[in-house]
A and B are shown apart, each in its own frame.
Chain A
Amino acid sequence: MRTPLVFIGATVVGVLVGCSFTTAGNFTECESDAECGAVAACSSGYCLSLPSGCRRENAGGSTEPFSEGNRIPIAALLPLTDSTGEVDDSELQGLNAMKLAISEANDNKGLSNRHFALFVCDTGRSDSALSQQLEWMVKNLQVPAVLTSGSGQTQEAAKNPLRIDAGTLIISATATSPALTPTFQREGNVWRISPPDTVQARAVVALVKADFPDAGDVRIDVVFSASDYGRAFGQPLCDGLLGAGYENTRHEYREGVADSYANVAIGLTNGIPRATVLIGFPPDVREVITRAQTYPNLSRTDGGHRWYLTDAAKDPAVLTPTTRGPLEGSLGTAPAQGAGGAFTSFRDSFRGRYNNTDPLTFSYTSHSYDATWLVMLSAAWASQGGATITGAGMGEGMRKLQVAQPAIPLRADKWIEASNNLSQGVAINVDGTSGALEFDLDAGAATSPYEVWQVVDGGIRVVRLLNP
């Protein structure tokens, strides 16, 4: 009687414990990203939850969802929001431009039927978040290229040891800090679509000179953030103004610190400049302008004071009921958006896809589009002979886009031609939407004209181009 019990007991235990036979199998969770949901990616057959703030964007392509094996992952680590959660509209439109570019390529069979997958992360302007997201993308998705935004975060991404070891290509549509030039020269593969701020500083000086031809004792103060980005822009600007004969005082503020903004306003009102160049993003600009307007000598109407803004402030978000008045008529500079031969088609496509939104209203939208195209074209170069697409291969491809030939405009209908040439080892010349995309291969940055934009009737309008 007991013997059967033993058998039964052993069998029951065996059956129950036998689930190990099932736990040991079926580890393949996915073949495509779509099987893992919007906030996860398929890598090596595993569904991996994306880091906080990241998601997978629908990037078009007739065969989507495409399999992991036919996927070329591209990461975009962007400060879509700030630390308070406020959305940065310029970044958002930049992201839209990236999605547009990728969908145009994917809708044209991608890269030999391999498709680009865009993984987007909101860094929240946090360097630590960016580093975490970057390392995750490099380690887990082996992304060969990362799109970044802003000089500080691009610098942070560029110096990441894991990124350096992997040779991941970094490209930024908006980074303009001169400090990135030595980074490019030292570590390579850190590219920018926009010229460095030293060039923009010259553009600002030219703009000031146009308004105040007689420098004399005219005082033009400069306000910038106490950051690498702010100083790398503010310092050459101060030098340029001094060189042009203007007096100036520099004022630094700490981002997000109310007293710091107030101190800047006090410094300005005490110094009584004729004009002030305010280098900052919309939140900083709003804070400084709001406090400065309480001082009559800093108003346009009473004191004849003018504000000059830069590329970072070219965003409708800078205009609030409080700031709209003081800023009305103010000028600003930004790397030109519409200087490329492909801009018109881009603008039409962008408007068509995104509720008639004009990319000219924001800064760097076309640069983002160009940056994404360049990433995909350099991937085509890196894919020669069926090779694995690596950051190093793409970096090499970045140098094959400006040969002395008729330029291929970056348009959807030109994708197959351009990518086929590159994937067959044929260098090409391209004409972007933001400019001709002629790169200074010693600095990793494209040369570009600048646009002068102006706050007019509570909006932003590009009024002319200039070549500093």
Chain B
Amino acid sequence: MRRFALLVALTCATAGFSANPKASALAKEADRLYKDNKYKEAAETLRKAYDTEPSALYLYNIARAYDQAGELESALEYYRTYVGLPAEETQPDLLKKANLAMDRLRTLVARSEADKQVRDAEKTRLQDDAKKAEARADAEANEARKQRREFEAKERDRKARETETVNVRKLAAFATGGVAAAGLASALTFSIVSAVNRDAFRTADTLADKRRLETETRTTAAVTDISLLVGIAAGVTAVILYPKGDEPPRAVNVVVAPIAGGAVASVGASF
């Protein structure tokens, strides 16, 4: 309907008022663009026509084209220009339409401005919120980094402590392993001494020697047993103390080999 009205207005203008062919051609072009819903191009073309031939009708149509293009400010400005023209240059019905359009546009502009203000306010708020969120995110990130650093520090401390504990336990394990080896070696040595004493006891031919060798055998056997118990206890303790983990534990390999005529030949240890 509005397009029909404009079409009429432009046709009239072209037929009735345009003495300038260029302006007339531009008006036709604008009319075609308008019909093709290319309102802004139509407005620009009409502005060129108006520049060529300053016709009030062109102003009005420019305002209409901008109005259709949705450029309310430009439309309102051209309507206002049109309305401000001397009465003889305008048409009453167009003035009325222009005023109505201006009222409508003012309302729209005002609403648009209000909307813009709202949008701006919302934008601002959103921006503020975004900034706050960013700040909060930064703070959280900082906190996270701080916590991570603290965690990492604690982890390093824990690992250091673990390493220290592992080292201490290794040291303790080796120490008790040494005690175990010493105990077993002592047990072996004294068991041999005890066996020698026992043999000497069997062949002794005096009461004094028998008693002495019995005492010596008992003593060395007791030392043997104590050494053995200490050795075993220390060995078990060493195994328990030795840290278990990814690193393969270094174990004590006790090698026992019999010899001819004897129960125990040798005991070797390798680490």
Q: Does A18 contact B (CB under 8 A)?
A: yes
Contact between chains at B198 and A23 (CB < 8 Å): yes
Q: Which residue of A lies closest to B177 (CB)?
A: A6
Contact between chains at A23 and B256 (CB < 8 Å): no
Q: Contact string, B240-271, partner A, CB cutoff 8 A, digits 1/0?
A: 00000000011111111000000110010000
Q: Does A387 contact B (CB under 8 A)?
A: no
Interface of B is mostly: helix
Q: Which of A1-24 contact B (CB under 8 A)?
A: 1-3, 5-7, 9-10, 12-14, 16-21, 23-24
Q: Which residues of B sit under 8 angstroms from A2, Cβ to Cβ?
A: 249-253
Q: Does B195 contact A (CB under 8 A)?
A: yes
B206 contacts which of A1, A6, A136 (Cβ < 8 Å)? A136
Q: Does B180 contact A (CB under 8 A)?
A: yes
Q: Which residue of A lies closest to B180 (CB)?
A: A10
B207 contacts which of A12, A21, A139 (Cβ < 8 Å)? A139
The CA of A149 and the CA of B243, in the complex, are separated in Å by 81
Contact between chains at A3 and B195 (CB < 8 Å): no
Contact between chains at A139 and B232 (CB < 8 Å): no
Q: Does A416 contact B (CB under 8 A)?
A: no
Q: Which of B163-222 contact A (CB under 8 A)?
A: 180, 184, 187-188, 190-191, 194-195, 197-198, 201, 203-208, 210-211, 214, 217-218, 220-222
Contact between chains at A20 and B194 (CB < 8 Å): yes
Contact between chains at A140 and B206 (CB < 8 Å): yes
Contact between chains at A16 and B256 (CB < 8 Å): yes
Contact between chains at B254 and A19 (CB < 8 Å): no
Q: Does B14 contact A (CB under 8 A)?
A: no
Contact between chains at A16 and B264 (CB < 8 Å): yes
Q: Which residues of A sit under 8 angstroms from B255, Cβ to Cβ?
A: 9
Q: Does B29 contact A (CB under 8 A)?
A: no
Tell whether A23 pairs with B253 under 8 Å between CB atoms, given A13-B187, A18-B228: no
Q: Which residues of B sit under 8 angstroms from A27, Cβ to Cβ?
A: 201, 214, 217-218
The CA of A6 and the CA of B235, in the complex, are separated in Å by 8
Tell whether A20 pairs with B225 under 8 Å between CB atoms, given A2-B249, A9-B253, A10-B184: yes
Q: Which of B47-89 contact A (CB under 8 A)?
A: none
Interface size class of A (residues with CB under 8 A): 20 to 34
Q: Which residue of B lies closest to A48 (CB)?
A: B205
Tell whether A49 pairs with B205 under 8 Å between CB atoms, given A6-B239, A6-B253, A24-B194: yes
B210 contacts which of A9, A14, A46 (Cβ < 8 Å)? A46
Chain B nearest CB from A28 CB (Å) reads 10
Q: Does A43 contact B (CB under 8 A)?
A: yes
The CA of A24 and the CA of B195, in the complex, are separated in Å by 9
Q: Which residues of A sit under 8 angstroms from B191, Cβ to Cβ?
A: 17, 19-20, 23
Q: Does A44 contact B (CB under 8 A)?
A: yes
Contact between chains at B224 and A20 (CB < 8 Å): yes
Chain B nearest CB from A22 CB (Å) reads 9
Q: Which residue of A lies closest to B189 (CB)?
A: A17
Chain B nearest CB from A40 CB (Å) reads 8
The CA of A140 and the CA of B206, in the complex, are separated in Å by 6
B235 contacts which of A10, A50, A139, A140 (Cβ < 8 Å)? A10
Contact between chains at B206 and A23 (CB < 8 Å): no
Q: Which residue of B lies closest to A18 (CB)?
A: B228
Q: Which residues of A sit under 8 angstroms from B239, Cβ to Cβ?
A: 3, 6-7
Tell whether A24 pairs with B254 under 8 Å between CB atoms, given A13-B188, A139-B208: no
Q: Contact string, A122-137, partner B, CB cutoff 8 A, digits 1/0?
A: 0000000000000010
Contact between chains at B235 and A48 (CB < 8 Å): no
Q: Which of B150-170 contact A (CB under 8 A)?
A: none
Chain B nearest CB from A246 CB (Å) reads 54
Tell whether A46 pairs with B207 under 8 Å between CB atoms, given A3-B239, A3-B249, A19-B195: yes
Q: Which residues of B sit under 8 angstroms from A9, Cβ to Cβ?
A: 252-256
Q: Which residues of A sit under 8 angstroms from B211, Cβ to Cβ?
A: 44
The CA of A369 and the CA of B225, in the complex, are separated in Å by 55
Contact between chains at A23 and B194 (CB < 8 Å): yes
The CA of A136 and the CA of B267, in the complex, are separated in Å by 43
Q: Which residues of B sit under 8 angstroms from A43, Cβ to Cβ?
A: 207
Interface centre among A20, A27, A48, A51 (most CB of B within 10 A): A20
Additional pairs, 5, CB under 8 Å, beyond known A6-B235, A43-B207: A13-B184, A17-B188, A17-B264, A20-B191, A48-B204
Q: List 27 A-B contacts (CB under 8 A).
A: A2-B250, A5-B251, A6-B235, A6-B239, A7-B235, A10-B231, A12-B256, A13-B228, A13-B254, A14-B231, A14-B232, A17-B188, A17-B191, A17-B264, A20-B191, A20-B194, A20-B225, A20-B228, A23-B194, A23-B195, A24-B225, A27-B218, A44-B207, A46-B210, A51-B205, A139-B206, A140-B206
Q: Which 10 pairs, one residue from A and one from B, show the smallest C-beta to C-beta distance?
A: A9-B254, A2-B251, A24-B221, A20-B224, A49-B205, A46-B210, A140-B207, A20-B221, A16-B264, A10-B235
